[in-house]
Structure 1
């Protein structure tokens, strides 16, 4: 059995991610903890200061929405035969201490692409979402809202311990996807086909994946990765810890574009 954290705020109910969890449930038992956050934005704070009666109306509507989301979550879990628990927190609980404790006692955290993209600029995810990726002490899976199942695995490999750790952690966390076609991609703009520890990498992926290939792309890592990913239907990208590994720092801009793009890409981020 796996314990999964599912993140929700009043404006982004994670219907798609919970349907994704139902797919996991078909392969192994799961326990899902829904973490529901209240949201306070600048308009709310201005209303509280300048028009208290308007603020009270806004607050009432938000609480009604939050209650409906929790009820919807419970019903969706019951219909899918999923063990569950829901907790409700105010927006001010969204801090590093809370998330590090919660994720330390979980196997996987799932965030919807829609929630991650909310408030994003043209080239980077929202500040709170990016902080959440950095604070997590367990792997994170970003799931698009309208696509419930990936069709191909793509692993970003750079020969470092961090990138190999991400691949191993994915295999342990989501073994149900090892039957999908998989590509392990080394990106470096140089005039040779050398890949660090290629033989050992090939041995490992052959032991875990039914249809896997290792390839080298002779590009600058930050330029064409997103466009190349868009050529694949419903891919799941495996990458190292956000903001910690050399690979994720190297791909930071491309990674950010990827998760807020319209490609519907799943992203697995190792802790």
Structure 2
């Protein structure tokens, strides 16, 4: 594990080869002065790093459940591949949540993910809920406050995220639980 709140981006990237996971606090060094703001280095580290990034809230609680924000994209496929091939979060129950329309295609995609977990010896449950991803996922995590949220992070270009926003950044702001981000 490699902590990054005090280090420069270059130092974190240089040392990540020694780590399986990068861990950063949710708020930066000036959090007392900017209570609602994220640390300034989270997005930069995540975009530059090849390792999963665990963003820890100020009050950390040991997770008892994994909530995976499922969107059917490439980054969530990489995330599921990581979780099914490593002992990371191995002993915790898994729940996949998807925001959007209840369609057969969405249900089939999620059932495929459940099968991948079953093949690795783990059980997973699913839920499809209409609404914005930010609200649906935040509500799901809030309903089980000892969850760790897992997100396939930043599926779009930095330019697109600047123009239309980022679900990843919104989730980091909205959720008061540990968040594991995988690119």
Residues 158 and 233 of structure 1: is their aligned pair in 2 closer, same or farther, counting only changes over 3 Å?
same
Equivalent position to 1:137, from 37, 50, 53: 50
Report the counterpart of residue 128 of structure 1 in structure 2: 41
Pairing 1:208–2:124 present = no
Following the alignment from structure 1 to structure 2, what is the Cα–Cα distance between the partners of residues 115 and 231?
27
Pairing 1:231–2:147 present = no
Q: Secondary structure of the equivalent of 1:177?
A: coil
Q: Which has the larger radius of gyration?
A: 1
* Offset, 1:219: 1.4
* Offset, 1:237: 0.8
Pairing 1:258–2:169 present = no
The within-5 A match list for 1:1-271 is 4-9=1-6, 37=7, 94-95=8-9, 97-115=10-28, 118=31, 120=34, 122=36, 124-173=37-86, 175=87, 177-188=89-100, 190=101, 192-195=103-106, 197-208=109-120, 210-241=122-153, 243-245=154-156, 251-259=167-175, 263=176, 265-271=177-183
Compare relative contact order (CA 8 Å, sep 6+) and give the higher one, 1 or 2: 2
The question of whether the paired residues in 1 share the 8 Å contact of 2:25 and 2:39 is answered with no
Q: Secondary structure of the equivalent of 2:51?
A: coil
* Offset, 1:162: 1.2
Following the alignment from structure 2 to structure 1, what is the Cα–Cα distance between the partners of residues 110 and 16?
33
* Offset, 1:232: 1.0
Following the alignment from structure 1 to structure 2, what is the Cα–Cα distance between the partners of residues 193 and 267?
29
* Offset, 1:146: 3.9
Which structure shows the bigger proportion of residues in helix conformation? 1
Number of residue pairs aligned between Structure 1 and Structure 2: 175
Which has the larger displacement, 113-122 or 176-185?
A: 113-122
The question of whether the paired residues in 2 share the 8 Å contact of 1:142 and 1:267 is answered with yes
Following the alignment from structure 2 to structure 1, what is the Cα–Cα distance between the partners of residues 23 and 38?
16
Alignment gaps of 5+ in structure 2: none
